[in-house]
Amino acid sequence: MLSKSIQDAINEQIKHELASAYLYLSMSAYCEANNLPGMARWLRTQWEEEQTHVMKLFDYVNERGGRVVLDAIEKPPADFKAPLDIFQQVFVHEQKVTSLIHRLYEVALKENDYPTQVELQWFIKEQVEEEKNATAIVEQLKMAKDNTSVLLMLDRQLGSRTKD
């Protein structure tokens, strides 16, 4: 059975994962409205991935005899400056999620909750990948600068992403 502190911390992480999904869906909608269907697809795939993270935590709490209690999430921004701005925000957001996962792991360490530590190992590895992917896109967008042809090629490349 989960301790109250672990259960509360995981419920808080579920909230953050839901907020992440909501943010990425908003970013996807913006890209779609601005004729960047590849970036929209990449962000929508990210939305789907975040929902998978939510359900992984949701199921874990239930498997350990805990109770999921959902909290409200804030409305995400709807407007962005440019693709570079969007993906810089993605990177910063993923860094924030990484720090939240690390804090959650620290709670599991403090509680000597070994099963939760093992479960969170997957999330720790996932965050390394998330930050790496966001960094690569930001760097490519920086190289593209105002070159529309390069931006459209990158948009097409990002649109080929499949769910991991």
Encoded tokens for 64: 């350990």
Encoded tokens for 52: 């998978």
Distance CA 3, CA 134 (A): 34
Which residue ranges in the chain fall short of pLDDT 50?
none
Distance CA 112, CA 91 (A): 31
For position 59, what pLDDT does the model report?
98
4-70+97-159 sits in which CATH class? mainly alpha
Q: Give which of 126, 123, 109, 137 is closest to 164, Cα–Cα.
A: 126
Give per-residue pLDDT as tens, 63-92.
999 999 999 999 999 999 999 999 999 999
Question: Does residue 7 contact residue 67 with C-beta atoms inside 8 Å?
Answer: yes
For position 145, what pLDDT does the model report?
86
Distance CA 159, CA 164 (A): 14
Instruction: Give the start-to-end residue ranges of the domains of the chain.
Output: 4-70+97-159
Give per-residue pLDDT as tens, 114-127.
999 999 999 999 99
DSSP assigned state of 163: -
